[in-house]
Amino acid sequence: MTDQPTDPPPKRGVAVIETALETMPQSPGVYRMLGAAGEALYVGKARVLSKRVQSYTQIGRLSERLRRMVSETVTMEIVTTHTEAEALLLEANFIKRMKPRYNIVLRDDKSYPWLLLTEDHPFPQITKHRGARGRKGSYYGPFASAWAVNNTVTAMQRVFLLRSCADTVFANRTRPCLLHQIRRCSAPCVGRISTEDYAGLADQARAFLAGKASSVQRDLATEMEAAAETLEFERAAAIRDRIRALTTVQGSDVINPASMNDADVIAGWQIAGQSCVQVFFFRGGRNNGNRAFYPSHGRHEDLPEVLAAFIAQFYDDKPPPPLVLLNRELEEQGLIEEALSLKAQTFGNGKRVEIAVPQRGEKAAVVAHAELNAREALERKLAETAGQAKLLEAVGALFAIPTPSRIEVYDNSHIMGANAYGVMIVAGPEGFTKAAYRKFSIKGPITPGDDFAMMREMLTRRFARALKDAEAEWPDLLLVDGGAGQLSAVRGVLDALGIDDVKLVAIAKGPDRDAGREWFHIDGREPFQLPPRDPVLYFLQRLRDEAHRFAITTHRAGRSKSLVQSELDDIPGIGPARKRALLNHFGSARGVKAAGLHDLEAAPGVSREIASRIYGFFHPGVRVGDGA
């Protein structure tokens, strides 16, 4: 009996698709092509599922990339929807979550900051906010960066004199803070303004943030004239300063156009099969900043297709504005408008979303400006990547390995063994990969100052975990800060774990810790130095210094956290809020410890039961009720 020849891979994938087509409905929905390990290869949407998926069985009409995708498909899954717009939203959600290899993928895991004007306090606070909107108040944004929202908070303080301090700070002020001294707060904490007058300031701020700056300016001008007529010159001067600050905030040009209220400007540019998409946020007629994105996609995807996929995924977790301006027409522009309008409704905004490609006027100028930013950002990135690629090639040649695509650098930081942390930083073809950085809190027990033991613990934890995870990324080059001793310690860890395919290098500072005279230690080779001005030396120094910076930052953060800890953290049932209330009431943990039972009961938020628990914790030999 002879073995039957196996089908070519594309035919196997086609057979899988044809089997799925037998039960596939003729309705809108989303389909997923899955690989052998159950991973999503591709996610697509369709107005008629069976008709769209049928096209994948016609191998001769597919591009090489799609033929390869079909060949790897071992099963298919579908989800039906009521409309094609709903399918588009679901497709974007799946792509963002699953990151399929053959889709255009927006890699954006950052949360966007918002400006919050609270509504749960008699004197509303203006502050920066990230994450879930759990606090009652009005939210404005998003902003492109923390810098942009911080600048807006500062401007709002100058114009409307709103407080930015936390409620706990507000409750414990006895005299005005520095912000009042520099005319950026009306000092409601110490009664320098009435509740009614402060509410008026908050209403003006809401009107300004809603795009009604001109009416706010008119009201302020009227108020200033009235104060001057009644000879309240000091008050008139204060209002004049607020008007000047408001005029400065409203400065208008192509960067801050007057004709746009709430809109996002999205412009893309392509070079050499790579794309950059720039997004400018405009809210209430103000520019909330911009951010560049570099979607992952095949080299043959054209710009309108990239923009369409980008827009659907970008608004998956944020409300779209009423207007989205683009620099290219989209093939399914009407469908995307419908989908974004549905998304706006889920965020409580019933306004229909319009997508436009302006051809003239101020809006066209703003789009052209965004397009220029996209082109320049992509050109810089490609230039940096080309330089990085040459450096990586030189590093590979220096250490006799193929060009590395992932370099891991390790360092640790402590003070006499206290608050010991180890860190890992990662670098590759696109520079530092900060999303891959890792921190290791050294658990020990370790003799204070034993850097070798700290390095052994950190490397053991990192690679033991990687051995258990089939999808873990592995370094091509492992760089540690230190000399022959560190090299030996790390080599011992790798040998114990059976890892022999990772190149290991230790970099030690030169005499008198002189940068530029570092020694490199490698197994089977005498320690060596590089010429003082060698570009590869500079590159390796930069990697080492970045690991050192990250280690020190991590150590300082851990040390600061330990400094704010106290004995109160060890009392069962005492959480952060109650701990803060006790410290505010008694002044310190020592004051809480010295307090009697009746004094504890008098503290805000402390019941008799909690007071007994606190008193018993500090006085274990005394029964509650024995004259405490």
Compute the average pLDDT of residues 73-98.
91
pLDDT digit string, tens, across residues 443-481: 776 666 677 888 888 888 888 888 887 777 889 999 998
Compute the average pLDDT of residues 1-21.
70
- Residue 265 pLDDT > 70: yes
In terms of C-beta density within 10 A (0-12 exposed, 13-18 middle, 19 or more buried), how is residue 523 classed?
A: exposed
Which position has the higher pLDDT, 217 or 534? 534
Compute the average pLDDT of residues 403-407.
93
List of domains in the chain: 9-98 (3.40.1440.10), 263-379 (3.30.420.10), 407-561 (3.30.420.340), 567-618 (1.10.150.20)
Sheet with 29-34: strands ordered across: 40-46, 29-34, 75-80
418 confidence band (pLDDT: 50, 70, 90): low
pLDDT of residue 2: 40
**115 three-class SS:** strand
Average pLDDT score, the chain: 83
pLDDT of residue 5: 44
In degrees, rounded to 5, the angle at the alpha carbon of residue 362 between the alpha carbons of residues 144 and 375 is 55
pLDDT above 90 coverage of the chain, percent = 29
Radius of gyration of the chain, Cα coordinates, nearest whole angstrom? 31
What is the CB neighbour count within 10 angstroms for residue 547? 27
pLDDT above 70 coverage of the chain, percent = 88
- Residue 4 pLDDT > 50: no
Q: Which stretch of 102-116, 323-337, 539-553 has the lowest confidence by average pLDDT?
A: 102-116
pLDDT of residue 560: 52
Compute the average pLDDT of residues 391-399.
92
548 confidence band (pLDDT: 50, 70, 90): confident
Q: What's the Cα-to-Cα distance from 342 to each of 44, 320, 349, rounded to whole Å? A: 19, 10, 9
pLDDT digit string, tens, across residues 288-300: 888 899 998 888 8
Compute the average pLDDT of residues 124-136.
85
- Residue 11 pLDDT > 50: yes
Secondary structure of the chain: what % helix, strand, coil (to 5)? 45, 20, 35
- Residue 564 pLDDT > 70: no
Question: How many Å apart are CA 439 and CA 457, to the nearest integer?
Answer: 12
pLDDT digit string, tens, across residues 220-232: 777 788 777 777 7
pLDDT digit string, tens, across residues 245-256: 666 655 544 445
61, 62, 63, 67: CA torsion to nearest 10: -140
Give, as one character, the DSSP assignment of residue 183: T
pTM of the model: 0.67
**575 three-class SS:** coil
Which position has the higher pLDDT, 527 or 558? 527
